Amino acid sequence: MSKLKALRPYFLVAPQTIVLLIFLVLPIVLIGVVSFWEFNGYSMTPAFTLDNYRGVLTSSVTLDTYLNTFKYVVLVWAVCLAMAFPVAYFLSFCIDNPRLQVILFLICTIPFWTSNIIRMIAWIPVLGREGLVNQALTGLGLVETPVAWLLYSDFAVVVGLVYLYAFFMIAPIFNSLMRIDRRLITAAQDMGASGFQILKEVILPLAAPGISIGSIFVVTLVMGEFITVRLMGGGQSASVGKLINTQIGSLQYPLAAANAVVLLAVTLLLVVLILRTVDVRKEM
């Protein structure tokens, strides 16, 4: 009886634990298991072989794909940060009215009110050859022929990804900026700090945990991206996620699983690197 009572608090977390076990841990374990199976081009058989990993790690395609994915990660991360920090700063420091703050913050979430794929497809009439941007450019006489690299290019992929994930950077930075005691700014002014010095010495260090949490979101999300890369990149652009997706499409499950495990490992490594640079415990 008393044993049951002691277990009672754990009932509160039991549903979430079960969901995570079934839908997160179990699939990952399965992927891990399958990644060691044998595959002969038609069927897979349970086994313990490192052939799949050998295939992944020795293929030049893998390296190129990772390099291309890192390129997206770095570009999207940099653009997201460059966009998100000013927005978060504006929301937290320039808007005094808490009500307006909430409203403007909610406006930032509007893109999330519809599905990712629809949002991506919506870019096509904007960036396409006959799209809005090109029509405007030719209409104004700025270019002779429509700009081709607007859609189905790395540019388009980065635009799409930034559009999808910028908010994941805005929210944590906004959160950490909101926590900054405004008297610290006054104190810094009192001691003669200029606007830039206040940013560098006070605001940025205190926003660092938020920046790093936002970076974790953006980096992990972009690392696993394939839909945006496929829709916005056309056939040319490659990413690890798309590669895995293609392998699954051709039923090469063990190879895809091995690739997924490597991707997971690389992504976790990136997260560890980010956590090493900034102590995020204060945000928790």
Partner 1 sequence: MPESSTSISPDVGPDTRSDLSPDMHLEATSSTSAAATAEKATGVSLRAVTKKYGPVVAVQDISIDVAAGTYCCLLGPSGCGKTTTLRMIAGHEEITYGDVFIGGRRVNALPPVKRDTAMVFQSYALFPHKTVWDNVDFGLKMQRLDRQARRQRVGEILDIVGLSDFAQRKPDNLSGGQQQRVALARALVTRPQVLLLDEPLSALDETLRVRTRGELRRLQKQFGLTFIQVTHAQDEAFSLSDQIVVMGDGHVDQVGTPQRIFNRPASRFVANFMGDNNLFEGNVTQVEADGEVAIAQLEVPQLGKFTCQAEVAPDVGMEAAFCIRADRMQVTRRGELPEQTTNHLSARITAIEFTGYITRVALLAEATGQELLYKARTQDWLARDLQEGQVVELYWTTEAANFLSH
- Strand positions, DSSP E, the chain: 38-39, 44-45
Segment interacting with partner 1 (CB under 8 A) among 64-72, 117-125, 199-207, 220-228: 199-207
Q: Does 183 bind partner 1 (CB under 8 A)?
A: yes
- Residue 130 and residue 214: Cα distance in Å, rounded? 35
Closest contact distance (angstroms) between CB of 280 and partner 1 is 13
In the bound state with partner 1, the residue whose beta carbon lies nearer, of 64 and 181, is: 181
> In this complex, which beta carbon is closest to partner 1, that of residue 194 or of residue 277?
194
Q: Is residue 186 at the binding interface for partner 1, with CB under 8 A as the rule? A: yes
CB of 105 to partner 1, least distance (A): 25
Measured in degrees and rounded to the nearest 5, phi and psi for residue 177 equal: -65, -35
- Residue 270 as a binder of partner 1 (CB under 8 A): the answer is no
Asked if residue 202 binds partner 1 (CB under 8 A), the reply is yes
Minimum Å distance from CB 170 to partner 1?
22
Half-sphere exposure of 225 (CA within 13 A, CB side): 35
Q: How far is the CB of 201 from partner 1 (least distance, A)?
A: 7
Supply the DSSP symbol for 40. Answer: -
Q: Is 134 left (phi over 0), alpha (psi -120 to 50) or beta?
A: alpha
Closest to partner 1 by CB, 38 or 201: 201
Among 206, 248, 266, 275, indicate the residue that binds partner 1 (CB under 8 A): 206
Does residue 205 bind partner 1 (CB under 8 A)? yes
Question: Which helix or strand (DSSP H or E) is residue 133 part of?
Answer: helix 132-139
String of contacts with partner 1 for each residue 125-164, x by CB under 8 A: ----------------------------------------
202, 188 contact by CB (below 8 A): yes
**Which residue bears the tokens 């409203």?**
103
Sign of CA dihedral 135, 139, 145, 149: negative
Pick the closer one to partner 1 by CB: 205 or 234: 205
Least CB distance to partner 1 at residue 219 (A)? 24
Q: How far apart are CA 197 and CA 51, in angstroms?
A: 55
CB under 8 A, 24+ apart: contacts of 33-36: 34/253, 34/254, 34/257, 35/254, 35/257, 35/258, 35/260, 35/261, 36/254
By C-beta, is 197 or 236 nearer to partner 1? 197
* Choice from 15, 41, 46, 192 touching partner 1 (CB under 8 A): 192
Among 135, 197, 236, 277, binds partner 1 (CB under 8 A): 197
| Coil, strand or helix at 193 | coil
* Residue 191 binds partner 1, judged by CB under 8 A: yes
φ/ψ (deg, to 5) at 44: -115, 150
The interface region with partner 1, picked from 30-38, 180-188, 222-230, 245-253 by CB under 8 A, is: 180-188
| Minimum CB distance to partner 1, residue 89 (Å) | 17
The closest alpha carbon to 195, from 187, 205, 185, belongs to: 185
Chain residues binding partner 1 by CB under 8 A are 181, 183-184, 186-194, 197, 201-202, 205-206
